[in-house]
Structure 1
Amino acid sequence: MNYPHNSPDRFFRRWLIVTSCIAFLMLFWQFMPAVESWFSAQEGTPRVITPRGDMAADEQTTIELFESSRNSVVFITTAQLVRDTWSRNIFQVPRGSGSGFIWNDAGHVITNYHVIQGASQANVKLADGRSYQAALVGASAEHDIAVLKIGVAFQRPPPVPIGTSHDLKVGQKVFAIGNPFGLDWTLTTGIVSALDRSLDAGAGGVTIDNLIQTDAAINPGNSGGPLLDSAGRLIGINTMIYSPSGASAGIGFSVPVDTIMRIVPQLIRNGRYIRPSLGITVDENLNSRLSKILDVRGVVVLNVIPGSSADKAGLKGAVMARNSAILPRDIIINLNGREISSVAQLLSALDDYKVGDVVTLQIQREDNIRQVDVKLQAG
């Protein structure tokens, strides 16, 4: 069988097709960067901006709250004066920073006591950039509250509006303004997570009661700044966080404004907080031991100061037995309907009142329980 031979024309056509394809691929490869650049140029054309529309109502409310409250918040930096051992020169060493807020038109500024504790100087920076050296007016370490004063001659910043804390509800919105990590005038938001928290203040065995717990981010530097409600009113001072790492863990605590309203006027007027007292002597450690030995709950009255309110009300202090054992007579178990089981609770309960108020004590003496009215005196 004879096979037909390919003609020269057919072979030439195939060669021409293969050669053309190779040439096309080489040209495409060479001009591909230019093609990509052209497409990129088309993609780089500015996009049409989509209209934003109106902000949500809660967004607008938050913005207005911050803008109206910002000027009432201050940035506080502290320093300590250190004398050089050799040259005897005195140097100013930065100590820390915190927040605060304007209390009144007289230039009083409220912050935490721990913000200025151990400092020799404090500088207050306003939202408009002006800075003033502050003077310490008074402080209460037990409540972690301090009052400073600055001399603002003109364009005084507005005081923060005052609210209430006794009527707060878990779940309502709160806003914190401060200077976390030195990042000035920062706003964080959250809710009231819990109420009536009690924490050891670390000063004299006193427990701070009625603290507000919030999940609004509070970090170092927020201390002393205001906690506001949705109306922009002060409801607390941001004072501490619970965090093993030292940063916000969603658990922050604020001293309630009702406490601030009791403490601050006294600090401005007297330079210190005058604690209401019954006129008795008590001791936390000894009370704990006696409570275990006697199997009782309450505060043992160790001594009644002669002429005191407790003395006039007929309270009796403990006596010493021949074997040196302490024999209690009066044990305070209740104050105005609030159960008392420790010295810290007693002091905290008294702190809700002022000098001159009359409180009703429930006293246990041996197997008898009676009620006694005592007029609080200055501690």
Structure 2
Amino acid sequence: MERRYGIAAAVLAALLLVATATKMHFAPWTGPVARAVEQRGPLSEAERATIDIFERVSPSVVQVAAKSAANPLMGEEGQGTASGTGFVWDRDGHLVTNNHVVASGGEIAVRFASGEVAQVDLVGTAPNYDLAVLRIRSVRELPPPVPLGSSSDLKVGQSAFAIGNPFGLDQSMTSGIISALKRRLPTHGGREIANVIQTDAAINPGNSGGPLLDSAGRLIGVTTAIISPSGSNAGISFAIPADIVNRVVPELIRNGRVPTPGIGIVAASEDVATRLGVEGVIVVRTAAGSPAERAGIRGVNMSTGAVGDIITAVEGKPVRRLSDVTDALEQAGAGRTVRLTVKRGTETRDVNVAIIDVDRS
């Protein structure tokens, strides 16, 4: 009995489906008619400000391509190309980029936002600051220089914008905030750049040498490095502060190089000073004939291991690491004299030491 009821139910369901299908009506085919566009309201103030920064500054940002000789030790054949970013510095055709972008010494060309390609000459490099200056050989009309700001009054949390060529994708803009200030960045020859800007604005390979801007569209730094396990953006990027750029670039334009101010000391690492409970910079040794040696500064006694002199201040300003000392020397400049406060044992004294260009000593 149950089987007959099941069969009857199935037959009834099939008949209802057929009856329903005969009464179905489909809308006629209307063809490929586009949907109406929904109108949007005005852009937000923040969006308009960001667009304004890009439209004003991006024409002055260039893509830098430097040919380099192949390195057979790396299994390379033919020539390679280093790609980075640069920007217009002045009306005389000078461009700023990173030293590591053009360090190969090969032929260099730049491409403007307009698509125009120009050959450039290398004016000068400053490996200790990872900066280089190029000059355009000929171009129809230069975009305006990127407006210059200052890095001395930056605040953590304020907006930051980067324009560059990540992975060769020219005219790319990213934004974020200033994440930290006064970072230290190791560069050529074991020295460090002081007061480096940290930002979470996305920086990737190819952004090197591009401008980091504030919300007024002013240059506050030159993007130079990232920390990333993958080699791509991980939210920790660094820029050379604009105040250093504004000090180094004019010197490169004038002389093609920048002096490396020093007094002729080798200092212990910050970790060593911390382990010993020392406040200041421990002098390990002085170079023979250096201003530090002539001023009577004494290093570690290599026979006994006893600590000699500890630099605790420069021009009355306390120092805790070598980069504090080198930053003070760079601000004073080669050819000047600087007052060091030096502690030896329980005695503290002031010593006047001449600053020299250690690259030419």
| TM-score normalised per structure 2 | 0.82
What is the CA deviation profile of residues 136-176 of structure 1, one whole-angstrom value per residue up to 9, with x for unaligned ones? Answer: 11111111111111123431121111110000111111110
Report 1:166-315 matches (<5 A). 166-201=152-187, 203-278=188-263, 281-284=264-267, 297-300=280-283, 302-303=285-286, 315=295
1:26 is displaced (CA, Å) by 4.5
Letter in 1 for 2:30: A
* Equivalent residue runs for 1:1-379 within 5 Å: 22=15, 26=18, 29=21, 35-36=25-26, 38=27, 41=30, 45-82=33-70, 93-201=79-187, 203-278=188-263, 281-284=264-267, 297-300=280-283, 302-303=285-286, 315-318=295-298, 324=303, 330-379=309-358
Asked if the contact 2:121–2:137 (Cα under 8 Å) also holds between the matched residues in 1, the reply is no
- Which deviates further from its counterpart, 325-334 or 147-156? 325-334
Structure 2 gaps of 5+ residues are: 1-10
SS of residue paired to 1:193 = strand
Identical residues among aligned pairs (%): 40
RMSD of equivalent CA atoms: 3.4
Gap regions ≥5 residues in structure 1: 1-17, 85-90
| Structure 1 residues 158 and 302: CA distance shift in structure 2, 3 A | same
| SS of match in other structure, 1:204 | helix
Alpha-carbon separation, structure 1, partners of 2:19 and 2:138: 77
Letter of the 1:246 counterpart: G
Q: Deviations over 1:215-262 (max 9, x none)?
A: 111111111100011111100001111111111111111100001011
1:284-303 deviations in whole A, cap 9, x for unaligned? Answer: 46998899789784232734
The one-letter amino acid of 1:41's match is T
Higher mean C-alpha displacement, 296-305 vs 171-180: 296-305
Structure 1 residues 40 and 338: alpha-carbon distance in aligned structure 2, compared to 1, 3 A threshold: farther
**Given residue 252 of structure 1, which amino acid in structure 2 is its aligned partner?**
S
Q: Deviations over 1:100-137 (max 9, x none)?
A: 10111111111111111224122111111111222211
Q: What is the CA–CA distance in structure 2 between the aligned matches of 1:352 and 1:51, rounded to whole Å?
A: 56
Structure 1 position 317, deviation (Å): 3.9
Q: For 1:346, what is the secondary structure of its paired residue?
A: helix
The range that moved more, 67-76 or 133-142, is 133-142
Alignment length (residue pairs): 343
Q: Is the 8 A contact 1:316 1:329 kept in 2?
A: no
The answer to whether the 8 A contact 1:108-1:148 is kept is yes
Task: For residues 63-116 of structure 1, give each alpha carbon's deviation from its aligned partner in whole angstroms, at most 9, with x where no partner exists.
Answer: 1111110111000112123599xxxxxx86232211010111111111111111
TM-score normalised according to structure 1 size? 0.78
> How far has the Cα of 1:375 moved from its partner?
4.9
Distance 1:319 1:219, change over 3 A: closer
CA distance in 1, matches of 2:138, 2:229: 40
How far the C-alpha of 1:198 sits from its partner, in A, is 1.4
Secondary structure of the structure 2 residue equivalent to 1:352: helix
State the 1:338 CA deviation. 4.1
Shift of 1:332: 2.0
Asked if structure 1 preserves the Cα contact closer than 8 Å seen for 2:268 and 2:284, the reply is no
Distance 1:162 1:128 in 2: 22
CA distance in 1, matches of 2:339, 2:285: 19
